[in-house]
Amino acid sequence: MSDHKKLYDEVFGLLEKHDTWMQNTINLIASENVSSPAVRSAIVSDFRDRYAEGWPGERVYAGCKYIDEVELICIELAERLFKAEFADVRPVSGVVANLVMYTAVMAPLDRMMALSIAHGGHISHARKNLGGTAGAIRGHKVRNWIFDDNEFNIDVDASMKLIKKMHADGKEIKLLLFGGSVFPFPHPVKEFREIADEYEMKIGYDSAHVSGLIAAGLFQDPLREGADIMTASTHKTMPGPQHGIVLSKAEFAEPIKKASFPGMLSNHHLHNVAGLAVVLAELTEFGDAYMDQILKNAKALAQALHERGWKVIAEHKGFTESHVVLADISDSPMKNGRTVEEELENANIVINRNLLPWDKKMGRDYKTPGGIRLGTSEMTRLGMKESEMDAIAELMHRVVMKGEDVNKIAAEVAEFRKDYQKVHYAFDTDTPAYAHLRFM
């Protein structure tokens, strides 16, 4: 057989292996989820091969009559679900949605405020010397919010002082950006609306992780609290296709549209727009129950680990108000997040290592940080409840703290997963969630 045909076959072999593995793992990656059979059907439609540059009805391409209708439905569902005056469903990811937001409200090189990575900020908010999207691509100068490690949130008074001092020193700030990738507690958005008006700053809110919770009214409501623009990924707490979205007040519609096209996009992954429309309808129907259970499960997982002696952050605040749980495992037998990540993966439990606010002081960096980040979105989608979170905590405990044989635990995890093979909170749930589908 020719070498390239062998590689071609190998790709399909690996895809099948991956899908089978996903059927047998506990996935606690906070930025992931599993989409429904309906979303999967939408994203394998012919839309995946088409172009539709521009806005529905004003396309630069022909052949868009059905694509336009789907995109308009998607926009309508998004505006209703998030109670937004305007939605642009074209950005192909959360990072691109952030670039659209930056372009809509800032000139290149303008200054913004955002969370540092160590405090949960995302690389797309970061400055140039880190290679961050805001700094390296748009040239934005980035000042970091002052963070209260103990409260695990933005320090309002200290950050307010910093903003005033910056402006007094002639260092104007144009955008206050909230949101992050480790996001257990709502950010103080409304507290900054007045000062934003005073200094003519815009307020942005990156809801990549928490957009599903926000849609269900269970986290915070940034657009009502004073945010001008809210961006999101559509595949974290929202169980959609990998895509992005920008939601805003009506007055930002035109600059956002222009920033998307002709600014950031040519094609905008039309199959994923269709998939997004499907998941928005699912969330409108089932989102409240689904998100409520995600939150209960996060608290239950945190509590179950805490009861086993784990150092889960923010115990005095009930650990978390989102899908995310952060644990400091630096004094566990495994010492750092990287080792824990590897050992758990060998036991069929997939999690992320994560930098903690105090890691740098302790001489640790992102490669071998002191923390791990857990999320409950995907396992909740499969129908798991609080008692299953306790079972998961016990399996993790046996790997990380007791050092039990990972092969033995891996087999137990696969057995445990047998009862959770279909998505819940969707109109159509018959096809198993991780079924390996092929057309040939």
Binding site for ligand PLP (CB under 6 A): 31, 93-95, 98, 122, 124, 179-181, 206, 208-209, 233, 244
Token couple for 368 = 């071998």
- When the beta carbons of 31 and 103 are compared against ligand PLP, the nearer one is 31
What would the two tokens of residue 105 be? 């409200």
CB of 130 to ligand PLP, least distance (A): 14
Of 256 and 300, nearer to ligand PLP (C-beta) is 256
- Angle of CA points 72, 284, 182, to nearest 5°: 100
Q: Which is nearer to ligand PLP, 115 or 291 (CB)?
A: 115
Residue type, 135: G
Min CB(184)–ligand PLP separation in Å? 13
Smallest separation (angstroms) from ligand PLP to the CB of 180 = 5
Which of 396, 304, 402, 418 is closest to 344 using CA atoms? 396
* Nearer Cβ to ligand PLP (244/357): 244
The smaller minimum CB distance to ligand PLP, of residues 153 and 332, is found at 153
Burial class (CB in 10 A: 0-12, 13-18, 19+), 104: buried
Q: What would the two tokens of residue 430 be? A: 């018959």
Exposure b/e, 127-159, CB count within 10 A at least 16 = b: bbebebbbbebbebbbbbbbbbeeebbbbeeeb
Task: Show the DSSP H helices in 226-348 as ranges.
Answer: 253-258, 270-307, 337-346
Check whether the bond before 262 is cis (ω within 30° of 0): yes
CA distance 36 to 180: 26
Smallest gap, in angstroms, from Cβ of residue 206 to ligand PLP?
4
Residue 264, Cα to own-chain centre: how many angstroms?
20
Supply the minimum distance, in Å, between the C-beta of residue 328 and ligand PLP. Answer: 20
For residue 271, which of 34, 433, 49, 36 has the smallest C-alpha distance? 49
Evaluate whether 123 touches 114 at the Cβ level (below 8 Å).
Answer: no
Least Å from the CB of residue 94 to ligand PLP: 2
Task: Establish how many alpha carbons lie within 13 A of residue 309's alpha carbon, considering only the half-sphere containing its beta carbon.
Answer: 8
Q: Which amino acid is at 193?
A: R
Q: How far is the CB of 120 from ligand PLP (least distance, A)?
A: 8
CB of residue 233 to ligand PLP, shortest distance in Å:
3
Q: Which pair of structure tokens corresponds to residue 67?
A: 């694509």
* Residue 371, SS3 per DSSP: strand
Based on CB atoms, which residue is closest to ligand PLP, 37 or 179?
Answer: 179
Q: How many residues does the chain have?
A: 440
Give 234 or 348: the residue with its C-beta nearer to ligand PLP.
Answer: 234
Specify the residue, 206 or 359, whose C-beta has the smaller distance to ligand PLP.
206
Q: Give the residue with the Cβ less far from ligand PLP, 93 or 377.
A: 93
Minimum distance from CB of 97 to ligand PLP (Å)? 7
User: Cβ-closest residue to ligand PLP?
Assistant: 94
